[in-house]
Amino acid sequence: MLCFATNNRHKLFEVGHLLGKKFKLVSLQDLNHHEELAEDFLTLEENARQKAEFIFRKYKIPCFADDTGLEVAALNGKPGVLSARYAGPQKNSDDNISLLLENLKGQSLRSAQFRTVIVLVGEDYGVQSFEGKVEGTIIDQPRGTKGFGYDPVFVPTGYNITLAEMTVEEKNSISHRAIAVHKLVRFLLEQTTRV
Name the least confident of 39-43, 109-113, 133-137, 139-143.
39-43
Q: What is the CATH number of the domain that holds 167?
A: 3.90.950.10
Q: Do strands 111-122 and 25-27 pair parallel, antiparallel, or not at all (unpaired)?
A: unpaired
pLDDT of 20 reads: 73
φ, ψ for residue 134 (rounded to 5)? -140, 130
> 148-173: per-residue pLDDT in tens?
899 999 999 999 999 999 998 899 89
| Residue 191 φ then ψ, to 5° | -65, -40
Residues 8, 11: Cα–Cα separation, whole Å: 5
Mean pLDDT of the chain: 92
Residue 66: active-site member:
no
* pLDDT(62) > 80: yes
3-state secondary structure of 91: coil
Residue 52 near residue 121, CB atoms below 8 Å: yes
What residues make up the domain containing 10?
A: 2-194
**Catalytic residue chosen out of the listed positions 66, 67, 95, 140:** 67
Question: Which has the closest alpha carbon to 93: 11, 148, 14?
Answer: 148
Q: Can you give the pLDDT at residue 194?
A: 62
Residues ≥6 apart with Cβ < 8 Å to 89: none
Instruction: Band the pLDDT of 22: cuts 50, 70, 90.
Output: confident
Instruction: Kindly report which listed range (16-20, 90-94, 105-109, 164-168) carries the lowest average pLDDT score.
Output: 16-20
Q: How many domains does the chain have?
A: 1
